[in-house]
Amino acid sequence: MDLLLTLLGLLLVILGIAGSVLPVLPGPITGWFGLLLLFLTSAVPMNYYILGITFFVALLILILDYIIPGLGAKKFGGSKKGSTGATLGLIIGLILPIPLGFVIGAFVGALIGELMHDPRDIKRALKSAFGSFVGFLASTTMKLFTSLIFLVFFVYELIEYGSQIMSF
């Protein structure tokens, strides 16, 4: 049972990293559930301190993920359509087989969204698209960094207690 919990936990931590970039998965929260599964094994002693702090950080990141892109867009005069365009552009950019497609897609999507909001002012649309893009990148970087830290915690505990998890 410990091996199954560990493998599911590892899968969730990896999905948490993917969810940091993909907008359909809540990255750090998913990774936190992976940590929780590891600590639920009989081999790894429960550490409420680590679980509590990491849960608080994951929850804070989840909340900030909804605030930061909007702040970036507002700071540069962006609209809701620009933020939505950045998200849609990211998804399309992930599908396209071009290097850094998600980055290019997020910017182009934000620009298209801003032009849909006000097609007459290209200069403002570029500035707003840049703001939406910066907010999106800041949010994504924050989620990715947190999810990678969760992976480090997971691997550290796995190295420390791995032999006990593997013993049947």
Q: Helix, strand or coil for residue 128?
A: helix
Predicted confidence (pLDDT) at residue 13 exceeds the cutoff of 80: yes
The per-residue pLDDT for range 37-87, each reduced to its tens digit, is 999 998 899 889 999 999 999 999 988 887 776 676 667 777 778 778 877
**pLDDT at site 75:** 76
Query: How many Å separate Cα 81 from the centre of its chain?
Result: 21
**The one-letter amino acid at 42:** S
Number of domains in the chain: 1
**pLDDT at site 67:** 77
Is 6 or 24 the better-scoring residue by pLDDT?
6
**158 within 8 A of 43, measured Cβ to Cβ:** no
Phi, psi dihedral angles at 116 (to 5 degrees)? -70, -30
**The one-letter amino acid at 54:** T
**pLDDT at site 125:** 81
Average pLDDT over residues 7-24: 90
Range of the domain at 138: 2-166
**132 within 8 A of 72, measured Cβ to Cβ:** yes
**pLDDT at site 41:** 92
Q: What is the DSSP letter of 46?
A: P
Confidence class for position 131, pLDDT limits 50, 70, 90? confident
Q: Which of 26, 20, 8 is nearest to 146 (CA)?
A: 20
Predicted confidence (pLDDT) at residue 168 exceeds the cutoff of 60: no
Q: What is the DSSP letter of 98?
A: S
Is 12 or 93 the better-scoring residue by pLDDT?
12
Confidence class for position 107, pLDDT limits 50, 70, 90? confident
Residue whose structure tokens are 């639920």: 40
Alpha-carbon distance of 150 to 20, in angstroms, equals 12
The per-residue pLDDT for range 27-38, each reduced to its tens digit, is 999 999 999 999
**92 within 8 A of 109, measured Cβ to Cβ:** yes
User: Rg of the Cα trace of the chain?
Assistant: 19
Alpha-carbon distance of 128 to 142, in angstroms, equals 21
